[in-house]
Amino acid sequence: MTDEEVLRALQDAGAILSGHFVLTSGRHSDTYVQCARVLEDPALTTRLAQEAARRIGERHVDLVAAPAVGGIMIGFAVAQALGVRFIFSERENGSMVFRRGFSVPEGASVLVVEDVVTTGGSVAEVIGLVCAAGGRVAGVVSLIDRGGRKAFDVELMPLLRLEVESWDASECRLCAAGVPTYSPGSRRLSS
C-alpha cells in the first residue's frame, strides 16, 4: 500500500475527525485520527498489517508488543503477518505493565506496534518494559505518525506520516474560544 492508499483508507473509514480533542498525550488538536474506525474492518486491518510487515524489511523479530488499548488490534495483526507471538501492556496504577502472564524472553527481538504516535509516551513505556525484561527493540511500527518530537529514540516506521498540529492546553486557541473538548484516547479508560 502506498501512503496515498493508507490515507484514502482512513478517510473512507471515517477515521479522520475534526473538532477540539484532548489527545492521549494531553496535548490538544483540531484533528483526531480514530484508528478504531479502520480496525473494525478485518480485511483492511490485515492489509495494513501485511504492509507494516513488508516495510520492516529483513529485521529479525521474535515477538510483537503493543500498548493497550489502541495498539492491541494492529499489534496482533502485525504479529500474525510476521508469524510471531504477540503480547500487550496495560495500565496498572497509572503505569504500563505486562500482565496476564505475558513476558519477554531474555534476548528477544521485539517489534513495538501502536496505532497512532504523537509524542510516543505509551510506546516509550513499552520500550522500557521490553528492555527491563532483557529484550531488545527491533523498531516501532505505527499506522500513523502525527509528527513532532518523540519520547523514544528507536526507529519509527509509520505507514503514514500525517502532520497534524497539536499544542499544550495553555496555548490552545480552541480552549480560549470556549470550544468543548472531546477526549477519545484510550489512556483515560479505567482499569
Over residues 50-99, the pLDDT tens digits come to: 999 999 999 999 999 999 988 999 999 999 999 999 999 999 998 999 99
pLDDT at residue 186, rounded to an integer: 52
Q: Is residue 64 part of a domain?
A: yes
pLDDT at residue 122, rounded to an integer: 93
Over residues 130-159, the pLDDT tens digits come to: 999 999 999 999 999 988 889 999 999 999
pLDDT at residue 189, rounded to an integer: 45
Q: Are strands 16-22 and 28-33 parallel, antiparallel or unpaired?
A: antiparallel
Domain that holds residue 118: 3-185
pLDDT at residue 160, rounded to an integer: 93
Q: Is residue 51 part of a domain?
A: yes
pLDDT at residue 78, rounded to an integer: 98
In the chain, the DSSP E strands lie at 16-22, 28-33, 63-67, 85-92, 95-98, 109-117, 136-145, 156-161
Q: Is residue 191 part of a domain?
A: no
SS3 category, 124: helix
pLDDT at residue 185, rounded to an integer: 62
Q: Is residue 169 part of a domain?
A: yes
Q: Is residue 45 part of a domain?
A: yes
pLDDT at residue 176, rounded to an integer: 94
Q: Is residue 146 part of a domain?
A: yes
Residue 118 pLDDT level (bands cut at 50, 70, 90) = confident
Counting other chains too, the contacts that 82-89 makes at CB distance below 8 Å and 24 or more residues apart are: 82/53, 82/111, 87/63, 89/65, 89/125, 89/126, 89/129
Q: Is residue 190 part of a domain?
A: no
Q: Is residue 85 part of a domain?
A: yes
pLDDT at 187 over 70: no
Q: What percentage of the chain carries pLDDT values higher than 70? A: 96
Q: How many domains does the chain have?
A: 1
CATH number for the domain that contains residue 136 = 3.40.50.2020
pLDDT at residue 119, rounded to an integer: 85
Residue 190 pLDDT level (bands cut at 50, 70, 90) = very low
